[in-house]
Amino acid sequence: MDATTRPLRIPPEMTIYAEKHDIFDMLQCMVRQLVIDKPEDPIQYLIGMLKKGNFEVPRVILLGPPASGKRTVAKALCERTQAIHIMVEHIMKEDPDFSGEPQRYQERGEAIPHDLWIRMIQQRLSRIDCVRRGWVLEGIPRTREEALGLQEAGIAPEHIVVLEAPDDVLIERSLGKRIDPETGDVYHVAFMRPEDETVRKRLQPPKEALSEEQTALRLKQYHSHAHTLLRTYERHLRYVNADQPHVDVCAQVLTHVLARQRSSAPHTPRILLFGPPGSGKSLQARLLAKKYNIVDICSGKLIKAVYADESCTGDLIKPYLEAGEPVPDSIVLQIVTARLSRLDCTTRGWVVHGFPRDMEQAEKLQETSHIPSRVFFLDMTDEVAVERLSLRAVDPVTGERYHTLYRPPSCPEVQARLVFNPKDREIEVMQRLEEYWAHLPLLQDFYPDAIHINADQDPHAIFESIESRLVGRLPKTLMNSQP
């Protein structure tokens, strides 16, 4: 970037790097924690945060009444994300710095003081395993007072999930609850039986099995605190119906936790549209460009424009176009990257269609600084593609486009003068489709995070599907951190 020139042109590499590593969100997080903790030495504090590393770890509070399945969901969630499962029992067992004070309160049958309990939670969550891998607090906080104490201590979860179910269902679950003494996993005699016969034989009732009356009393106690507790987090709650198979409950919670919150970070859309001939790539590109003010780049039109402007590159591709031969990949890449490097593309974003056509072109594009942030495949069958293309025509007088099946002309006079493009003959279309399908598997492998959209539907429905995946952030990848 040349600081002496105006206006300043920010290289596309800077934007790609910032978005790839979530630089804006990382700075936002660091400033937020700086304001919360108010350290004496802000610089060393920020250096310490950076040394700890991962900012994209799950920080989840899982709440719900007794027997709602919190333990099962928490274990499944931690297994998939590698986060640390934290329960009240875990915090009570770990006492490195409190000299047995919490246990003495328990032995006397007294409640642990609020300030001490908050410090115990804070200490556990500040350990390196929770910092690097994230955490899931099961059934913590239990009251509004605890919730406010955690907030004052700077413990801010990204997600608060509340499991809910009718009391009669919860009582039935509590009475049928069974524990695997070797693993601690929770099962139920009717709703969640283990598949392994060996595990099934060693199941036992909980050590402190509750009667129906005791369970009802615990539910009453939970409800007495739940209203004020949940009001503390009311803007961030996600309710999940626990009265359904535990597999579905776990899937819903996991989807919610992996969904990233909306970011205020600046984002420059860089979109690739793939699809067979007739899938509507050009139309979707126009709609995206119009709504989001991004640059619509069709590789075919771009090459024709370069040919028409009689530049050096135009003279270079002239022999190929006049002979009806494909322009070499190196020249096409040069033309496309030159267009993507212009100021409007780097500042507003772009949507490219018609390029890359094969694996080799995709690899060459990836080697440049113009890396897409979203890739879409518009999927449709050959039959639909042939029907769309072979029956379309143009009125040479008005330039109006028609389709003999979906949009026929209103009068015989227009019908008589319609012109069909020779390239839209069925045999020509089938050849283009064969070429597309031949390269498709490798392109799909090259863009594993690409989004597939059904293109055999109304164009506005397709646009809404694309748009919904464009404005939201991509889900978090599952953590692979080691303890």
Return the higher-pLDDT residue of 63 and 210. Answer: 63
* CB-based burial, 43-59: b 16+ in 10 Å, e otherwise: eeebeebeeeeebebbb
Check pLDDT > 50 for residue 479.
Answer: no
Residue 414 has pLDDT above 70, yes or no: yes
**Cβ-based neighbours of 361, under 8 Å, separated by 6 or more:** 329, 332, 333, 355
Q: What is the pLDDT of residue 5?
A: 57
Of 101 and 167, the one with more pLDDT:
167
Question: What is the pLDDT confidence band of residue 477, given thresholds at 50, 70 and 90?
Answer: low
Q: What would the DSSP string read from start to end of 225-267?
A: HHHHHHHHTTTTEEEEE-SS-HHHHHHHHHHHHHSPPP--S--
Residue ranges of the chain that CATH labels 3.40.50.300: 57-258, 270-471
Tracing tokens 């809404």 back to the chain, one arrives at 464
pLDDT bin (cut points 50, 70, 90) of residue 178 is: confident
Task: Tell me the mean pLDDT in the region 243-263.
Answer: 84
What CA–CA distance (Å, rounded) separates 63 from 412?
69
User: How far out from the chain centre does Cα 252 lie?
Assistant: 14
pLDDT of residue 12: 67
Q: What confidence category does residue 264 fall into, taking pLDDT thresholds of 50, 70 and 90?
A: low
Task: Compute the distance between CA of residue 247 and CA of residue 278 in angstroms, rounded to an integer.
Answer: 40
pLDDT exceeds cutoff 60 at 418: yes
Strand partners, 62: 138, 161
In the predicted model, what is the mean pLDDT of residues 407-420? Answer: 86
312-327: pLDDT as tens digits: 777 788 888 878 788 8
Report the CATH superfamily, name and number, of domain 57-258: P-loop containing nucleotide triphosphate hydrolases (3.40.50.300)
**Single pTM value for the model:** 0.62
Work out the number of other CB atoms within 10 angstroms of the CB of residue 410.
9
- Positive or negative, the Cα torsion across 19, 477, 360, 320? negative
Report whether 257 contacts 181 (CB < 8 A).
no
Strand, coil or helix: 483: coil
185-199, 223-237, 375-389: least confidently modelled range: 185-199
What does pLDDT average to over the chain? 84
Is the model's pLDDT at 156 over the cut of 90? no
**What is the rounded CA–CA span in Å between residue 432 and residue 454?**
20
Average pLDDT of the segment spanning 29-54: 78
Does the pLDDT of residue 478 top 50, yes or no?
no
Alpha helices in 41-113 (DSSP H): 42-52, 70-81, 88-93, 101-107
CB within 8 Å of 189: residues ≥ 6 apart: 176, 178
The CATH number for 270-471, chosen from 3.40.50.300, 1.10.3720.10, 1.20.1250.20, 3.40.630.10, is 3.40.50.300
Q: Using CA atoms, how far apart are residues 353 and 287, in angstroms rounded to an integer?
A: 13
Q: What angle do CA 78, 80, 83 make, to 5 degrees?
A: 35
CB atoms within 10 A of CB 380: 19
Rounded distance between C-alpha atoms, residue 421 and residue 239, angstroms: 56
